[in-house]
Structure 1
Amino acid sequence: MNLKKIFFLLIVISLISITYGLSVEKEGDIPNRATNLSSRQKKDASEAIAQLEYSKIFYNSAGTIANHGSIRIDMQGIFTHFGTRYHNIQAQINGIKGSSTVAHVSVSEESMSTKTSEQKHVVRKVRNALLESLKSGKSYRVKGKA
């Protein structure tokens, strides 16, 4: 391979890593986690996660952003961690007080984008993180540039 091709490939690889610099990190146990989910609740959670839309992830006020059957997904609020603002997204069992959270992800505002392709990438990462959280019982963090 000649030097021009190698140089071109290095530039392409660099641009790809800059364009999609999102990372997903596993954190500790989900606070107030509901245990012993039924197969119906797991299916409802997966369906609610599939309904999640980009614009709703970054709402500025707390509230329900998706709902399916026995499960709702709430944007619980915004918090700051080491100078970066995060949106606290939780899937919860409807009608239960106390330990009702089945999946949890914090999404950094630095991952916000005006480009449709990047928004789709962010939604995929958030949905995947919520599904992993549902399976593992751990919280996840999505951060970095979209």
Structure 2
Amino acid sequence: MTNKPSTPEPEVLQPQQCWELMRGVSVGRLAVWVLDHPDIFPINYKVDHGTLVFRTAEGTKLHSALGETPVALEADGVNPDTGVAWSVVVKGHAVAIKLTQEVLDTVGLLLFPWQAGRKDHFVRIVPTSITGRRFTVTPPLTWWSPLDDATRAGLE
């Protein structure tokens, strides 16, 4: 028998729930493959008809995102009042938005990057999958394990 409190299981979110959560935030982390290693870039994005759109400048992020390798975008949030957090991952392919009408359509998304500078390239992530989880943030004291005492004793 154990004295540890039970931890609620994470809730697996349906795609519609994932999209709703993604619409509620504007910052995520874009994972791309750069030459021989993965890299992650923070981006501002908007949900647009089942896709994600972001603006960026010329550089590593743009060229890696538009390469042959799929990309992933992760966004998350937490309600400080309830302690309920969520995390959503979108996987897919990034494509440049080049047609004049498509670029004009993205302007209506009010996509404003946080970092100053020219962000002339519009990129759309076309998802192949979207997955998410919702879970209660566990108080740090419930993370205790016998190894925690052993580590602390070794440092004293």
TM interval, shorter chain, is: 0.3 to 0.5
Task: Give the structure with the higher percent helix.
Answer: 1
Structure ID, larger Rg: 2
Task: Give the structure with the higher percent strand.
Answer: 2
